[in-house]
Amino acid sequence: MDCSSWINTSLDLNINPHRVHEEVPKMEVESKLFSLGMTKFSVKEESTDELEEELKRVTAENKKLVEMLSVVCENYNTLRSHLMEYMKRNPEKELSPSSKKRKSESSNNNNSNLMGINNGNSESSSTDEEESCKKPREETIKAKISRVYVRTEASDTGLIVKDGYQWRKYGQKVTRDNPCPRAYFKCSFAPSCPVKKKVQRSVDDQSVLVATYEGEHNHPQPSRMEATSGSGRGMSQGSSVPCSASLISSAPTVVTLDLTNSKSSKGSKNTEPRKDSPKVPQNLVEQMATSLTTDPNFRAALVAAISGRLMHKN
DNA sequence: CGTTTTTGACCGGCGC
DNA sequence: GCGCCGGTCAAAAACG
């Protein structure tokens, strides 16, 4: 109940390095605030000036962040309109005839598929813009299909994709077009949750796992901490305090298909997520930020994390 | 001992 | 109609 406890609502979001202005690294501010809070009773009035100063700086920073956010949103809208234009010009790509399931699937594999791209985010941002930007067609109606590429350690031979949910493996099969076995998972909340996923190593790059999701979860993520695609077998849901760190801990390894890259780089091979990207392209960063900030699930998780923090401290 | 994973069998859709 | 193929089932094995 002491006021030192509720100040720090940090989500460990690693808001980060070469960011806006180096004058006030966020963590520094936080730690200052925190320590000020801790030493509150001993420091007294002389600290209020400092506090006000910090407050001003934080406010200014906040303002700048808001501006950045709006810029990012604008960029996103621009990109989206470009994409819509592109999809209009190439309608047959995404409207693959529903009769040829197998053909279309195998071709999707080689060709960073538009549907997969679109739905790649659907796992996390399934709501608002989908209705507007994608017209529901026959094959997408029955179950949302999204594809996610995940880079793994070269030594890692398992078919485990960490995505925050618990999965139960119900089958494995070697398919014709890929010597690596394909694993079939059901959400561990089945049958109440109809989601399934298939995980298979990429033919081209065996260190890349291709996870194909079918359907949407009708429940929140049980626990991000131990969601290791079936290996985390605890009945841990409900007990966990939302773990904000995992929001980023899983992020770097999961690579959803990138709309802009696949579209804009015309001559180059844009079919696979590339492993070695020593520096992350700026637009990719912005895109990721945008998808996070516009993602209702992320917001919900954020709210839960914050309230979890507050509850925990109290 | 209960739960999860493994794996061969089975089923249904599709192409020929 | 037949064979191929992907997906699912379910008994057995493995695991904690």
DSSP string, A17-79: TT-S-TTS-HHHHHHHHHHHHHTHHHHTTHHHHHHHHHHHHHHHHHHHHHHHHHHHHHHHHHH
A12 CB burial (10 A radius; 0-12, 13-18, 19+): middle
Range in A84-93, A115-124, A303-312 the model is least confident about? A115-124
Interatomic CA–C1' length for residue A191 and nucleotide B4, angstroms: 16
Residue A249 has pLDDT above 70, yes or no: no
A157 within some domain: yes
* Residues A208 and A272 sit within 8 Å (Cβ to Cβ): yes
Count how many Cα atoms sit within 13 Å of the Cα of residue A295 in the half-sphere of its side chain: 18
Confirm whether any atom of chain C, the nucleic acid strand, is less than 7 Å from CB of A102: yes
| Banded model confidence at residue A108, pLDDT cuts 50, 70, 90 | very low
**A69 vs A117, more confident:** A69
Count how many Cα atoms sit within 13 Å of the Cα of residue A128 in the half-sphere of its side chain: 6
| Distance (Å, whole) CA A120 – CA A255 | 9
DSSP H or E stretch at residue A127: none
Tell me A254's DSSP state. Answer: E
The segment with the largest mean pLDDT, out of A166-175, A191-200, A252-261, is A166-175
Interatomic CA–C1' length for residue A73 and nucleotide B9, angstroms: 53
Residue A99, CA: closest nucleotide via C1'? B14
Residue A171, CA: closest nucleotide via C1'? C8
Q: What percent of chain A has pLDDT over 70?
A: 28
pLDDT for res A304: 62
| Distance (Å, whole) CA A268 – CA A195 | 35
| Distance (Å, whole) CA A160 – CA A295 | 25
* Residues A161 and A183 sit within 8 Å (Cβ to Cβ): no
CATH code for the domain in which residue A179 is found: 2.20.25.80
Q: Which residue is nearest to nucleotide C16 (CA to C1')?
A: A233
A149: three-class secondary structure by DSSP: strand
Residue A203 has pLDDT above 70, yes or no: yes
Query: What is the side-by-side strand order in the sheet with A208-214?
Result: A167-175, A178-187, A196-201, A208-214, A145-151, A254-256
A122 within some domain: no
Confirm whether any atom of chain B, the nucleic acid strand, is less than 7 Å from CB of A231: yes
Looking up tokens 């690294």, which residue turns up? Answer: A25
Total domain count, chain A: 1
pLDDT for res A86: 60
A311 within some domain: no
Global pTM value: 0.44
Mean pLDDT confidence for A143-156: 65
A8 within some domain: no
Residue A224 has pLDDT above 50, yes or no: no
A235 within some domain: no
Q: Give me the domain span that covers residue A159.
A: 145-218
A129 within some domain: no
| Distance (Å, whole) CA A124 – CA A299 | 10
Confirm whether any atom of chain C, the nucleic acid strand, is less than 7 Å from CB of A266: no
Residue A16 has pLDDT above 60, yes or no: no
Mean pLDDT confidence for A153-179: 75
A186 within some domain: yes
A65 within some domain: no
Confirm whether any atom of chain B, the nucleic acid strand, is less than 7 Å from CB of A16: no
Structure tokens at A213: 């999701």
Kindly give, in sequence order, each residue whose CB lies less than 8 Å from that of residue A240, ignoring residues fewer than 6 positions away: A222, A223, A224, A225
Residue A107 has pLDDT above 70, yes or no: no
